[in-house]
Amino acid sequence: MKYILVTGGVISGIGKGIIASSIGTILKSCGLRVTAIKIDPYINIDAGTFSPYEHGEVFVLNDGGEVDLDLGNYERFLDINLYKDNNITTGKIYQHVINKERRGDFLGETVQVVPHITDAIQEWVMNQAKVSVDSNKEDPQICVIEASMELFFISYCLAGSLSIQFSFTLLSLLGGTVGDIEGMAFVEAFRQFQFKAKKENFCNIHVSLVPQPCATGEQKTKPTQNSVRSLRGLGLSPDLIVCRSSKPIEMSVKEKISMFCHVSPEQVVCIHDVSSIYRVPLLLEEQGVVKYFKERLDLPISDCSSNLLYKWKAMTDRYEKLQKICSIALYIDSIDLEPVMKAEDPVKFHEAWQKLCLAERELMGYNRKHAHVLLLIGICLGMQLAVIEFARNCLNLEDANSTEFEPNTPVPLVSGL
């Protein structure tokens, strides 16, 4: 197996997930099979209980796993189907280790973060990386792992993120931000892992921000220098540095980063803000990423662009040339649309209907029979209500219900367990 570690620095939300997905897309275009893993340091077992206001909507996988939205990114970019175990959390890892301790698997050892937790992380990654995620049921060659952790530079008050990517049989991205208490076990796990994999099978990519203050208009390299220095202090050293910026990076800036971060100019890749996230794989490919991976990890791929990337470019061009604008009504409270509201609160009633009628698509769980509802997305409670309503009004199952609402319902269509 060959591994690519991707780290992120300076700020969270820098686009590590898109970079990881894009690298996976490029390698898949070279004929390699790709999978992905997301690591989150929170104690929650999964994302099912998260507030959507803080984390966004939960992404539900084919096996019912409720995970972070980043896994949806991976599925969309890489055209794969992931599983709940492709999302690793601190809660899952500790639960796994504690269950082993309760069974007596450690034979009386004192269970500690190192080596028991760190070993569990490495074992989970290696095992899950082997699980097929495409229709061919073949073992993946590449696994992208993103893990969110907070990294604080004490003297500079900067935050960063660590991501790990594994290539050939395993490409992993450990993304997010690095350095918080929950995340340090993951940092240590992958510091150890690079030696287990050996140098010829392990490559580190660091994604960092190059800010450009409006007052001076000058692109600043110091945050990236500090980020790389902190990463090295954790025992990880980048082979590629991906610079994120609002505008294209100037050559002098690229050379400065090369000099102070101990890499050649060819190892500094620049990704500026673009019109569409689907442009990112093309930007990476244009800067010789395929050739770099081929030489650094001795991958059995050609340097020339594949037919898949040509199709990707055509898709991106079409995406940016769309002419029609579609208005979508989201989160209209269906209660405000009920006839009873016309008498109780006519203003709210008419405003809700105005928003609904002006939209071409409505993402809501209102009356299925209403002519204005062109599209229904049933998520969580909304899906339960849609199933119950249909059963009662179309199948004449008057007692149809969810066990979450009525545990002893005689017609339990939905289980709340």
Look over the chain and give the mean of its residue pLDDT values, rounded to a whole number. 83
Structure tokens at 162: 């660590």
pLDDT at 374: 53
Residue 269 pairs with which residues in a beta bridge?
Answer: 242
- DSSP collapsed to 3 states, 287-332: CCHHHHHHHHHCCCCCCCCCHHHHHHHHHHHHHHCCCCCCCEEECC
Q: Is the pLDDT of residue 373 over 60?
A: no
pLDDT tens by residue, 216-264: 889 999 999 998 998 888 888 899 999 999 999 999 999 999 999 999 9
* Cα Rg, the chain, nearest whole Å: 24
Out of 32-41, 161-170, 282-291, which region has the weakest mean confidence (pLDDT)?
161-170
Q: Which contiguous run of DSSP H or E holds residue 76?
A: helix 70-78
Mean pLDDT of 266-287: 92
Task: Categorize the per-residue pLDDT at 92 as very low, low, confident or very high, splitting at 50, 70 and 90.
Answer: very high
User: Which residues, including other chains, have CB under 8 Å from residue 414's CB and lie 6 or more apart?
Assistant: 384, 387, 388, 401, 402, 403, 404
pLDDT tens by residue, 187-222: 899 899 999 988 888 888 888 999 999 888 899 999
Closest by alpha carbon to 413, among 391, 398, 380?
A: 391
- Domain spans, the chain: 3-319, 328-414
Domain 3-319 has CATH 3.40.50.300: yes
Task: Categorize the per-residue pLDDT at 365 as very low, low, confident or very high, splitting at 50, 70 and 90.
Answer: very low
pLDDT tens by residue, 316-340: 888 888 777 777 777 888 788 888 8
Q: Say what the pTM is.
A: 0.75
**Cα distance between residue 117 and residue 90, in whole Å:** 9
Task: Categorize the per-residue pLDDT at 81 as very low, low, confident or very high, splitting at 50, 70 and 90.
Answer: very high
Q: Percentage of the chain surpassing pLDDT 70?
A: 86
| Residue spans of beta strands (DSSP E) within 33-73 | 34-40, 59-60, 66-67
**Cα distance between residue 118 and residue 124, in whole Å:** 10
pLDDT at 143: 84
pLDDT at 87: 93
User: Which residues, including other chains, have CB under 8 Å from residue 110's CB and lie 6 or more apart?
Assistant: none
